[in-house]
Copies of this chain bind each other. A is one copy, B any other.
Amino acid sequence: MNARYKIGEFAKLVGLSTYTLRYYENEGLVVSQRDDNGVRFYTDEDIKWLGFLLHLKGTGMKLNDLKDYVKWRAQGDQTIPQRRALLRRVQKESEAEIREREANLAVLRRKIAWYDGKLDQSISHDESFEDYLKRFE
C-alpha cells in the first residue's frame, strides 16, 4: 500500500494526459505532492479524488464550478452547505439538459421511423425485395 505514482503512470490510471493533469493543477482542481527531486507524485487518495471530479465533470459541471467546489472543500466542513447548494444547482441543470435532449431525441427517432417507412414502401411497392437489395450491391 501507500503507492506513489508519478505523473505518467497516474495519467494512465485516471485516463487523462500529463498535460491535462498539470493544467488541472494550475487551475487548482488537483494537488500533487513532490518527492525530494521536486517530481510530482500521486497516491490512491488522488485517484479517488480524480474519479469523483471526473464524475462531477461528466454531469456537465464546468471547471469554474469545480474550482469553487475544490476551494470550499479545502475550507472544511463548514462549507458543506455551499457545496451542497452548488451540487444541487448542477444537478438541476444537468437534469434539465437531459430532459431537453430526450425531447430532441424523440423528434430524431420519429424522423428515423419516417425514413424507415419510406424505405419500406420503396421495397414493397416499387420493386421486389430482390431488386431492392440489388441497389446496394
Size class of the A contact interface (CB-based, 8 Å): 35 or more
For A103, what are the chain B residues with a Cβ–Cβ distance below 8 Å?
58
- The chain A residues found within 8 Å of chain B, CB to CB, are 52, 55-60, 77-78, 80-81, 83-84, 87-88, 90-91, 94-95, 97-98, 100-105, 107-109, 111-112, 115-116, 118-119, 122, 135-136
Query: Given contacts A80-B118, A115-B80, A119-B84, is CB(A101)–CB(B59) below 8 Å?
Result: yes
Main secondary structure of the interface of A (DSSP, over half): helix
Query: Given contacts A95-B105, A108-B94, is CB(A83)–CB(B115) below 8 Å?
Result: yes
B104 engages A56 (CB within 8 Å): yes
A101 engages B60 (CB within 8 Å): yes
